[in-house]
Amino acid sequence: MEFLTSTALYNILRGPLVWVAFLVFIGGSIYRIYTLLGMAKKEKVIFPFISLKATLKSLFHWLIPFASRNWRLRPVITVVTFLFHICLVFTPIFLLAHNQLWYESWGITWWTLPESITDIMTLIVIFTCIFFFFRRISAPEVKFVTFASDYILLSISFLPFFTGFLAYHQWVLPHEAMVNLHILFGELMLIAIPFTRLGHMFYFFLTRSWMGSNFALWHTRDW
């Protein structure tokens, strides 16, 4: 407990480990996208058939709730999935506490959401992660394709928000210990993104481009 609440640990997490996390996240993401594009270039049937029109149509229908038939067939999953991704991405970006840290470190600041709103968004991420967990252990079609790595990735998404919520409300552990855990799990999540399926935040757009263009060749729709 003394180690978790130490100022030295906090300075390490806020100092060199932050730089390591961002460098790995940015460098790893660039590398993965570069290698993915390189693999696509080797396949002579990919880039020549990419259509901007088909790409934009596919992205539009898959990024708008219920715009695709697949979304309409699964309304509960659609709502939960969109809430999860929206809150997962925008809560850390527009959180007041994070904004203050950016300003203290680099003098950067931007618009933030009210703390009451980000508190609700944090809870949404927490409860949607729990929903996805029980879905993985109960729904046969999902359980069949679930591996141990899926639970690890779900934990990586869950823990930064869970510890952040506890730190904000100063519950369970001493405040400093929970803040340190929150920072640590947040940095682990950043590092994991380029090397796990969390990287679909980048690959999704490339996949939809290929799928939409491919289906357009046959005058059909991928949505």
Domains of the chain: 7-217 (1.20.950)
Q: With 0-12 CB in 10 A as exposed, 13-18 as middle and 19+ as buried, what is 163?
A: buried
Nearest residue to 205 (alpha-carbon basis) of 193, 217, 213, 195: 213
Distance CA 70, CA 72 (A): 5
End-to-end Cα distance, the chain: 51
Hunting for tokens 């939809």 — which residue is that?
A: 208
Over residues 168-196, the pLDDT tens digits come to 999 878 888 899 999 999 999 999 999 99
One-letter amino acid for residue 165 of the chain = F
Q: pLDDT digit string (tens) for 119-144?
A: 999 999 999 999 999 999 999 989 99
User: To which residue do tokens 């290698």 refer?
Assistant: 35
**44-48, 89-93, 118-122: least confidently modelled range:** 44-48
How many whole angstroms separate alpha carbon 168 and alpha carbon 119?
Answer: 9
